[in-house]
């Protein structure tokens, strides 16, 4: 009988009652589903290639389930599997959870053909490496592949992990009071000590709570420990028989790092088990880490020592600040004395020079004869008249040149004024309207860039030769007429949508409520002022429908109240409106400008387009809003994503 392979690790399956079980990873299968999957793979790649795939999947499983998985080994093994079967689900999960590519990872999670055992393994691996951009896709993945109590438990785990991320629990670099150094075998005492310290007002770092655990997070463990040790004010070593063992990371890794890299860091040895026969190497490490050998034996003494250590460090910081302040005052005093001495020397030299000049003139005057004095006076008079005439001619020439320049500038202003006014009057050209200006194309002429750097900036905007330029990311972008697509026209009123993605902004830092969102405030504030410096007198305020019927679900719990806006975003349903020209995915695609890319938008390498916001909230999450993807389809994204494009919409009075 033909042997069947496990879909997770590639090991051969054996019978166990009515089911087939993998002895390597423990996965179980119904015979019919296992035979169907094996037959499908064999038809696609042949028996020889199927055997190669099974061997490589076995190596990948072993690499991913070591006690401390190596990122390099997991990535290498995953790539080896994908070189044989490019669509392998678990290999893609292992690979892209390590390279932190949320777009590729979200695409893999959208796969519908996933075995239950593969789904369970993927969730176990992905939860420790959760990020804000993968919360929504992982929720969707759980909804598709789990049911009942299991679905509820996994959804709860995702929300708990997302809450910890938002609270900074997993940020080892946050300033804290105490770093707890301990053995995991003393966990009960460590948890009690952690609670006591924090009840007494000390912020603590403990690896079991403040570092993400799980197979997907092991690669960042040691750097996180070292960062936390640097960020905490003092270190408490929970000394026990277990933590004084060379098998314990606290003694083998953390204390040596404290000794070598943080020699001035305050530290306390809190003894919870008496010393017995301690090996020489352990005693030497502890003596170097705690030179005073003053053990702390009770919790009250520990609280007092921790407070004293923090107070002493605070006092040192105050003393250092006072020392620097005094040095600064002394330096200022020295500079003032030097400046006064320099001024005295300059005054003395000037007085000396004036005295010498006076003596010289007196000597010359005495030596001159009466006739020579008369001739000198006549010559001086002639020279004076010649100089006056030259000055008069120069002043007259300068006056004429100034009048000519002013006349040319006045003519140029008169010529450009109608053109400037026309840029802010919406005029129809076929299916489009050109109205307002916004930074779009990057200035690539080195000469022009050099001139712009010497101009005066007003709120990041430069005016030069009758044109405006915006500065972003140390680059300059030309204000160009905004091209608007006409969605609907009735008489002299038209509903317009920008043809390109003009900027990139986050939707909101708090929730998917459009009425209170940052993107709405920006559209009707900064964007309106920047694109229409004349106030946009032709723009008509619109009543914007934000009800649930405009979203993907008529029972959407996150729909907000209607708003009155001059500039707004289209809704989820607007992008299905055939009357607006949205008949397929291609009709919804839009590309970002150079300026939008500089502000954070992403230009898709295959079609040059990008994601952009709608105003509609996702019904499945308070922190999700709907976007139009680069391929024209629609998808949800986290509201705090800065890399999503903005495509403004407005209603105007137009002229043909």
* Three-class DSSP labels, 1-68: CCCCECCCCCCEEEEECCEEEECCCCCEEEHHHHHHHHHHHHHHHCHHHHHHHHHHHHHHHHHHCCCC
Residue pLDDT, tens place only, 294-320: 778 888 888 888 888 888 877 776 677
User: What value does the mean pLDDT of the chain take?
Assistant: 83
Residue pLDDT, tens place only, 336-383: 888 889 888 988 889 999 998 899 888 888 888 888 888 988 898 999
Question: Looking at per-residue confidence, does 293 or 650 come out higher?
Answer: 650
Q: Which residues of 54-67 are buried (b: 16+ CB within 10 A; e: fewer)?
A: bebbbbbbebbeee
What pLDDT shows up at residue 38?
63
d(CA 387, CA 366): 28
- Give the orientation angle of helix 135-145 with respect to helix 102-109, to 10 degrees: 10
pLDDT for residue 400 is more than 50: yes
The set of residues, in sequence order, having a beta carbon less than 8 Å from that of 193 and lying 6+ positions away, is 180, 236, 238, 270, 299, 302
Provide the token pair at 29.
């299968």
pLDDT for residue 102 is more than 70: no
Mean pLDDT to the nearest integer, 197-219: 72
3-state secondary structure 126-162: HHHHCCCCCHHHHHHHHHHHCCHHHHHHHHHHHHHHH
| Band of pLDDT at residue 258, cut at 50, 70 and 90 | confident
> How open is the CA angle 482-427-529, to the nearest 5 degrees?
45
Q: Are strands 267-271 and 232-239 parallel, antiparallel or unpaired?
A: parallel
What pLDDT shows up at residue 646?
98
pLDDT for residue 479 is more than 60: yes
| Band of pLDDT at residue 53, cut at 50, 70 and 90 | confident
Dihedral over alpha carbons 149, 150, 152, 158 (to 10 degrees): 160
pLDDT for residue 442 is more than 70: yes
Residue pLDDT, tens place only, 562-602: 999 999 999 999 999 999 999 999 999 999 999 999 999 99
What pLDDT shows up at residue 165?
65
What pLDDT shows up at residue 424?
63
Q: Which of 269-283, 488-502, 532-546, 567-581 has the lowest mean pLDDT?
A: 269-283
The residues with which 649 forms a beta bridge, in sequence order, are 497, 568
pLDDT for residue 483 is more than 90: yes
What pLDDT shows up at residue 509?
92
Q: Percent of the chain beyond pLDDT 70?
A: 83
What pLDDT shows up at residue 285?
86
d(CA 142, CA 448): 55
Q: Percent of the chain beyond pLDDT 90?
A: 29
Mean pLDDT to the nearest integer, 146-155: 82
pLDDT for residue 413 is more than 60: no
Quote the DSSP letter at residue 527.
I
What pLDDT shows up at residue 298?
83
What pLDDT shows up at residue 144?
80
Mean pLDDT to the nearest integer, 210-229: 69
pTM: 0.41
CB 466 within 8 A of CB 414: no
Indicate the helix (H) or strand (E) that contains 234: strand 232-239
pLDDT for residue 422 is more than 70: no
Name residue, tokens 């405009």.
550
| Band of pLDDT at residue 40, cut at 50, 70 and 90 | low
| Band of pLDDT at residue 150, cut at 50, 70 and 90 | confident
- Give the orientation angle of helix 47-64 with respect to helix 89-98, to 10 degrees: 40
d(CA 330, CA 319): 16
150, exposed or middle or buried, with CB in 10 Å at 0-12, 13-18, 19+?
middle
pLDDT for residue 462 is more than 60: yes
pLDDT for residue 218 is more than 50: no
Residue 296, CA atoms < 13 Å, CB-side half-sphere = 19
Residue whose C-alpha is closest to residue 191's, from 229, 238, 249, 228: 238
| Band of pLDDT at residue 1, cut at 50, 70 and 90 | very low
């Amino acid at each position: 009988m033909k042997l069947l392979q496990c879909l997770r690790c590639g090991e051969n399956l054996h019978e166990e009652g009515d089911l087939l079980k993998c002895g390597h990873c423990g996965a179980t299968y119904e015979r019919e589903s296992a035979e169907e999957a094996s037959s499908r793979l064999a038809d696609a790649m042949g028996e020889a290639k199927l055997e190669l795939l099974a061997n490589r999947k076995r190596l990948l499983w072993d690499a991913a389930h070591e006690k401390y998985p190596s990122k390099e080994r997991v990535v290498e093994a995953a790539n080896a599997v994908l070189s044989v079967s490019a669509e392998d689900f678990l290999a893609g999960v292992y690979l892209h959870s390590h390279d932190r590519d949320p777009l590729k990872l979200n695409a893999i999670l959208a796969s519908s053909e996933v075995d239950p055992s593969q789904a369970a393994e993927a969730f176990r691996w992905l939860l420790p490496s959760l990020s804000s951009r993968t919360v929504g896709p992982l929720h969707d993945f759980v909804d598709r592949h789990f049911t009942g109590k299991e679905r509820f438990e996994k959804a709860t785990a995702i929300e708990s992990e997302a809450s910890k991320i938002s609270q900074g629990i997993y940020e080892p670099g946050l300033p804290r009071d105490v770093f707890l150094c301990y053995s995991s075998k003393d966990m009960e005492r460590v948890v009690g000590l952690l609670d006591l310290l924090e009840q007494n007002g000390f912020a603590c770092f403990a690896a079991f709570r403040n570092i993400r655990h799980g197979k997907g997070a092991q690669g960042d463990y040691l750097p996180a420990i070292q960062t936390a040790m640097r960020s905490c004010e003092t270190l408490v070593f929970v000394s026990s028989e277990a933590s004084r063992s060379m098998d314990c990371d606290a003694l083998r890794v953390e204390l040596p790092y404290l000794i070598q890299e943080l020699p001035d860091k305050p530290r306390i040895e809190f003894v919870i088990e008496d010393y017995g026969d301690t090996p020489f190497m352990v005693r030497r490490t502890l003596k170097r880490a705690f030179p005073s050998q003053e053990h702390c034996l009770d919790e009250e003494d520990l609280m007092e020592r921790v407070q004293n250590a923090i107070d002493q460090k605070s006092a040192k910081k105050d003393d250092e600040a006072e020392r620097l302040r005094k040095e600064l005052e002394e330096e200022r005093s020295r500079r003032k004395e030097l400046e006064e001495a320099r001024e005295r020397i300059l005054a003395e030299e000037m007085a000396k020079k004036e005295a010498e000049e006076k003596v010289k003139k007196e000597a010359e005057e005495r030596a001159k004869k009466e006739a020579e004095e008369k001739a000198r006076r006549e010559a001086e008079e002639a020279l004076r008249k010649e100089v006056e005439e030259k000055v008069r001619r120069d002043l007259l020439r300068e006056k004429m040149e100034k009048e000519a320049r002013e006349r040319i500038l006045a003519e140029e202003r008169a010529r450009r004024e109608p053109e400037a006014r026309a840029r802010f009057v919406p005029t129809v050209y076929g299916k489009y309207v050109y109205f307002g200006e916004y930074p779009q194309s990057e200035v690539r002429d080195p000469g022009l860039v050099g001139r712009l750097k010497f101009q005066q900036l007003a709120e990041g905007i430069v005016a030069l030769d009758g044109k405006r330029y915006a500065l972003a990311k140390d680059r300059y972008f030309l204000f160009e007429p905004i091209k608007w697509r006409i969605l609907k026209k009735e008489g002299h009123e038209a509903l317009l949508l920008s043809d390109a993605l003009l900027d990139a902004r986050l939707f909101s830092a708090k929730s998917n409520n459009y009425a209170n969102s940052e993107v709405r405030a920006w559209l009707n504030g900064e964007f309106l002022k920047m694109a229409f410096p004349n106030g946009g007198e032709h723009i008509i305020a619109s009543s914007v429908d934000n009800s649930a019927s405009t979203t993907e679900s008529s029972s959407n719990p996150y729909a907000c109240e209607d708003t009155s806006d001059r500039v707004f975003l289209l809704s989820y349903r607007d992008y299905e409106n055939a009357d607006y020209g949205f008949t397929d995915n291609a009709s919804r695609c839009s590309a970002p400008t150079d300026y939008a890319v500089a502000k954070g938008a992403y230009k898709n390498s295959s079609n040059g387009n990008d994601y952009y916001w709608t105003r509609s909230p996702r019904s499945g999450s308070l922190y999700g809003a709907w976007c139009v993807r680069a391929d024209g389809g629609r998808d949800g994204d986290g509201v705090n994503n800065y890399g999503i494009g903005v495509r403004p919409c407005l209603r105007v009075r137009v002229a043909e």
